[in-house]
Structure 1
Amino acid sequence: MIAYFAGMKLGLGLIVAIGAQNAFVLRQGLRREHVFAVALFCAASDAVLIGLGVSGFALASEAAPWLVPVLRWGGVAFLLFYGLRAFRAAWKGGETLAAARGRTPVPLRGVLVTIAALTWANPHVWLDTVVLLGAVSAQFPGQGGAFAAGAISASFGFFFALAYGARALAPIFARPKAWAVLDFIVGVMMWSIAARLVLADV
């Protein structure tokens, strides 16, 4: 149980901060589009990545050091592009929650492609969640499964709470300015993460 709760605490600490993936989950929850599928995809992806980390991906990254710069610069390019999209949406404005619900829904495939990119092309997922969780799990010899289970439980709980809890914010996002502010914050966040990756001594 000590390993389980240690994994849960660390896993929650790594994913609770708003990031590209979390912002998208929040947005889908506000729009009430494919909420269950998005939350499940994120949680299941985390489960796979946590499994990779605990089973030795951290050691693999040491054996193949080229993985780190590839993930780093690929992530920078994607974050810059996604941030630009968010800034453009904030500049155009005019969206409301009512309009979002009334417009033609985005097909599930398109939503899953976006969330897959935000998840699997996110360098923080690999460098923090996978590598860090993998390294910390080594502190619990013979209890890696319990540690991973705790981290996976935190991931499932967080993503479903974020996706379905977003509905409580619906009255706020009935105003176009709220959407513009959200898009602007997402854009700043994406570019700030990209800047940290560029400047990081990785």
Structure 2
Amino acid sequence: MIVPALTGFSASAAFILAIGPQNTFILRQGLARSHVFPLVLFCALSDAILITAGVAGFGVIVEMFPSLPVIMTWGGAAFLFAYGALRFWAVWINEYTVEIEGKPVGLWAALAACAAFTWLNPHVYLDTIVLLGAISTEFTQVSQKVAFAIGAMLPSFLFFFGLGYGARLLAPVMQSARAWRILDVLIGLLMWALAIKLIS
């Protein structure tokens, strides 16, 4: 069960670490110490729901379309290579603008914004349902899929809680373009490693 869990963990971690509006929103709220717990819990649970849908849903779809795993394997690998290349391109052009100044807002307004950043972002469906779902087809046993899903969920909880509550410690570092460049290099390398593993 270790291999599926580690595969899920590494894939999910690479996706979630990419800079985006959801992450910077949580960082800002963490800096303001505003509704941190409900916001980070909402983000982590949302990811868990989508990951479960991706891992479980792919099994049902595969029963209907047996050739889908092969198609998704190559399609997923192509996307992972492209995604990795985009991360390297971001490093090359060095255009990083991160607004992370804290701004306290009401709980419901904060949750509404968080929900929009999470559920209205097409990339979250691509990352959790399509790509993680495709990677999960590498494992055929139910116990392996469960381990993969749990492994994939763990980075969300670690990341969002760490980001929300560690915002004041991370702020000086994450305001640096160099820090995001290093992070993008690591993400790009991991994306390419996952793509190679997927098709090997």
* Number of matched pairs: 141
Distance in 1 (CA, whole Å) between partners of 2:171 and 2:3 is: 39
Q: Does structure 2 retain, via aligned residues, the 8 Å contact 1:29–1:165?
A: yes
Q: Supply the AA of the counterpart residue of 1:12.
A: A
Counting only pairs closer than 5 Å after superposition, residues 98-109 of structure 1 correspond to structure 2 as 100=103, 105-109=104-108
Correspondence 1:80-119 to 2 at 5 A: 100=103, 105-119=104-118
What does residue 138 of structure 1 align with? 137
Answer yes or no: is 1:121 the counterpart of 2:120: yes
Which letter does structure 2 place at the counterpart of 1:10? A
Following superposition, the deviation at residue 21 of structure 1 comes to 0.8
Instruction: Summarize the Cα distance change of 1:123–1:57 in structure 2 as closer, same or farther, 3 Å threshold.
Output: farther
In the alignment, what sits opposite 1:5?
A: 6
Separation in 2, partners of 1:118, 1:41: 11
CA contact (8 A) 2:31 2:101 kept: no
Aligned-partner Cα distance in 2 for 1:169–1:136: 31
Q: Which residue number in structure 2 is paired with residue 189 of structure 1?
A: none
Q: Look up the SS of the partner of 2:128 in the other structure.
A: helix
1:21 counterpart SS class: helix
Q: Secondary structure at the match of 1:159?
A: helix
| 1:28 matches 2:29 | yes
String of CA shifts for 1:23-52, please: whole Å, max 9, x gaps. Answer: 111111111100111111100000000001
Which residue is 1:147 aligned to?
148
Cα 1:108–1:3 shift into 2, 3 Å: same
Give runs of aligned pairs for residues 53-92 of structure 1, distance below 5 A.
Answer: 53-56=54-57, 59=61
The answer to whether the Cα contact below 8 Å between 1:8 and 1:153 also exists between their aligned partners in 2 is yes
Deviation at 1:107, TM superposition (A): 1.5
Instruction: Write the deviation string for residues 108-138 of structure 1: whole angstroms up to 9, x where unpaired.
Output: 1111011001100100000122210001101
Question: Which contiguous aligned blocks of 4+ residues in structure 1 show a shift greater than 3 angstroms?
Answer: 57-60, 169-173
- Equivalent residue number for residue 78 of structure 1: none
Tell me the SS of whatever aligns to 1:18. coil
What corresponds to 2:51 in structure 1? 50
8 A contact 1:30–1:169 mirrored in 2: no
Deviations 1:10-32 (A, max 9, x none): 01011001111111111111111
* Aligned-partner Cα distance in 2 for 1:172–1:15: 18
Contact kept in structure 1, 2:54 and 2:129, CA below 8 Å: yes
Contact kept in structure 1, 2:58 and 2:137, CA below 8 Å = no
Unaligned runs of 5+ in 2: 66-96, 178-200
Identity of aligned residues (%): 51
TM-score, normalised via structure 1 length: 0.62
Shift of 1:169: 4.7
TM-score by length of 2: 0.62
One-letter amino acid of the counterpart of residue 52, structure 1: A
Gaps of 5+ in 1: 64-86, 183-202
Q: Say if 1:25 and 1:127 are closer, same or farther in 2 by CA, change over 3 A.
A: same
Question: Is the Cα–Cα contact under 8 Å of residues 7 and 151 in structure 1 kept in the other structure?
Answer: yes
